[in-house]
Chain A
Amino acid sequence: EPEVTQTPSHQVTQMGQEVILRCVPISNHLYFYWYRQILGQKVEFLVSFYNNEISEKSEIFDDQFSVERPDGSNFTLKIRSTKLEDSAMYFCASSSESYEQYFGPGTRLTVT
């Protein structure tokens, strides 16, 4: 069964550093999403991406965040200058024309 994959599974970085989180969505899906979950809290929407552009973004998704689909398979989330409060689990998801979203296993980001 096709699945969404994410790398790395765990990333540790120092405050102020740039990080890139990578995702490979399901191959025939058209819509791509990033969500995050701060430890002990609920999952929050960050951004959605369709037809090579951002379709929706939340208040959390400020200028330090960016997304890209550099080729036909990868979907990346970049955080330009990490802060302590960026420590969270980051989930990538994808969907076809159906509304059902398929989630990856997550990347646990720790900012020290």
Chain B
Amino acid sequence: GIQVEQSPPDLILQEGANSTLRCNFSDSVNNLQWFHQNPWGQLINLFYIPSGTKQNGRLSATTVATERYSLLYISSSQTTDSGVYFCAVRRRGGSARQLTFGSGTQLTVLP
């Protein structure tokens, strides 16, 4: 199956700093989603971005499908940004629609 690798596994920032999280995947995809898992365990959908660039407030994401990676940018980080960030993909081709998740990046934003 498709492999999804996220880096870094852990990231500690001071409030106000910027960060970049990376997701590499091993095959062509036609779905890529970024999620934030909050302290209550809920998965918050950040972006649906199989290709291109999107922005939502302080967060933006870019997927370069031809090079098989996606980046999530967090600017002016806040303590509420803390949590685990997951990338999940669906391999292009075939009928299966399930997502394969990476292992996540644990982000801690210090006040």
> What is A's interface to B at a CB cutoff of 8 Å?
31, 33, 35, 37, 41-45, 48, 55-56, 58, 89, 91, 95, 99-103, 105-106, 108
Contact = CB atoms under 8 A, between A and B. Distances in A.
Contacts of A105: 40, 42
Nearest to B90: A99
B43 A99 contact: no
Interface stretch (B12-20, B30-38, B51-59, B69-77): B30-38
B86 A42 contact: yes
B102 interface: yes
Interface of B: 30-31, 33, 35, 40-43, 45, 48, 50, 86, 88, 90, 95-104
Contacts of B33: 100-101
Contacts of B98: 33, 45, 48, 56, 58
A24 to B, nearest CB: 16
A42 B99 CA distance: 12
A10 to B, nearest CB: 10
Contact of A45 (B86, B99, B102, B103): B99
A35 B100 CA distance: 10
B78 to A, nearest CB: 22
A35 B43 CA distance: 11
Nearest to B30: A99
Contacts of A58: 98
B101 A43 contact: yes
A4 B24 CA distance: 28
A60 to B, nearest CB: 12
Contacts of B90: 99
A89 B41 contact: yes
Contacts of A45: 98-100
Given A48-B96, A99-B90, A100-B48, A106 B101 contact: no
A43 B48 contact: no
